[in-house]
Chains A and B, each alone.
Chain A
């Protein structure tokens, strides 16, 4: 069980909260201590819109412990509209055919089961096709 580290990452996982660099205004996700664009100190929180498009995707047929319940699942690199790219599962795909370039939006879903049946359920961001 890894309760402290999941608790620490709540805002990033639930709200897609990263940072905006106070020096060069670069949007940063995940948060880090030094801006990758200008090298200045990064610390100001920024909530991303959750809108983006698929840069690449693959289908997982084998999963690490804690992820088996979702098999098979599609995982993608999602390029956020504000700039950064994130790794996340795709969900609510229905009959949609996944394609590179497809617009997606963030939703909060169950990500992983930590430990046995009494263990913690970890929630966080996934992405689904943009409706309509």
Chain B
């Protein structure tokens, strides 16, 4: 099997980008990645996206994107795995290149949620849940997170404000990310006083939906990876695991068992242990997801994830840095594109291009995306050569 290298990255600023289209955002990210890799011949483009079919009435998005960027005659398809759609596109690209059938591919994550307005946005995003038995009861993804947080608080009785550690860290890190949506810090006090959106979940517990595109140029071509403008990064693990789509169909809703399986497989595949992971771009769509994730990863015992996040140092200078460029919470949460943003940010860290947020000597990074509340978990490990 071929080794898979990342030879170029590109991203757009994240935000409410009313004036931009799916294809123009994609092209900005694609051109960034192609330029870094020395504009090589591309065999395939895999597009990760969640909302375009419903929000922009556009299916077969990969073709639209590729054609707009002048990539005629290549292979393309679009992946959908809920909010993990971008990570799924990366996994598909990884499988294609690793198999040897595709030599060089673009992986593009793109989202344009502002193509619709009003409360129908909630209907579209609620399609990630079990439609007949969750969405049809009036639940939304925000509500799912509220249900998880309420159960967590009742089960383990952490101090309520301690659950703000991850959003506060994300905002602190986003200050130094020029692509981030919210480049300002939030205080513990501001977190504590934030309005409830789905009691007990408050405004700062939820990552803001956003538009944006990010791209990776991946290849098995060692020569290309060496002649590229930047030092190549190898993808050393790629895993994908599911849990029940509906929260109510799981034996223990707080277990996030797909995270456990996905991470164990990824560590084994890459042949590393947690002590060798220099940074972890975890999935902070909601603060409670981050807490349950670190517990499911085995980084903290069940019921202790909030303490591990609040009391240990997870800044870029800390023991295990998290959400180093602001995470979904403060970089902004471009849904089906977010998994590719995570990959781009991990590459920035491994190349030593993360500026004020640089993790010293970072050699190995883990990124993890979730569709729904860990209904679909995709984990990748990258290593600097």
A residues near B (Cβ < 8 Å) are: 5, 9, 30, 36, 55-68, 70, 73, 75-77, 84-89, 100, 111-112, 122, 124
Q: Which of B19-27, B89-97, B120-128 contacts A (4 or more CB under 8 A)?
A: B120-128
Q: Are A63 and B122 in contact (CB under 8 A)?
A: yes
> Which chain B residues border A76 with CB–CB below 8 Å?
147
For chain B, the bracket of interface size reads 35 or more
User: Which of chain A's residues has its CB closest to B145's CB?
Assistant: A58
Q: Nearest-CB distance from A119 to chain B (Å)?
A: 14
B159, CB-defined interface residue at 8 Å = no
Centre residue among B138, B143, B253 by max chain A CB count within 10 A: B138
Q: Nearest-CB distance from A88 to chain B (Å)?
A: 5
Q: Are A63 and B136 in contact (CB under 8 A)?
A: no
Q: Are A85 and B248 in contact (CB under 8 A)?
A: yes
> Which chain A residues border B338 with CB–CB below 8 Å?
none
User: Which of chain A's residues has its CB closest to B198's CB?
Assistant: A58
Q: Are B199 and A59 in contact (CB under 8 A)?
A: yes
7 cross-chain pairs, A with B, having the tightest CB-CB distances, nearest first:
A58-B146, A56-B151, A85-B248, A64-B122, A67-B138, A64-B123, A59-B199
> Which chain B residues border A67 with CB–CB below 8 Å?
138
B residues near A (Cβ < 8 Å) are: 118-120, 122-123, 126, 132-140, 142-143, 146-151, 154, 196-201, 246-249, 253
Total A-B Cβ pairs within 8 A: 100
Main secondary structure of the interface of B (DSSP, over half): helix
- How many angstroms from the CA of A45 to the CA of B137 in the assembled complex? 22
Q: Are A87 and B248 in contact (CB under 8 A)?
A: yes
> With A56-B147, A60-B138, A87-B246 given, is the CB distance from A77 to B133 under 8 Å?
no
- How many angstroms from the CA of A79 to the CA of B132 in the assembled complex? 18
> With A60-B140, A87-B133 given, is the CB distance from A100 to B154 under 8 Å?
yes
User: Which of chain A's residues has its CB closest to B148's CB?
Assistant: A56
> Which chain B residues border A5 with CB–CB below 8 Å?
132
> Which chain A residues border B135 with CB–CB below 8 Å?
64
> Which chain B residues border A112 with CB–CB below 8 Å?
136, 138
Given contacts A63-B119, A75-B137, 17 further A-B contacts (CB under 8 A): A30-B133, A55-B253, A56-B148, A56-B150, A58-B200, A59-B199, A63-B140, A64-B138, A65-B122, A75-B139, A77-B253, A87-B139, A87-B247, A88-B137, A100-B150, A100-B154, A111-B137
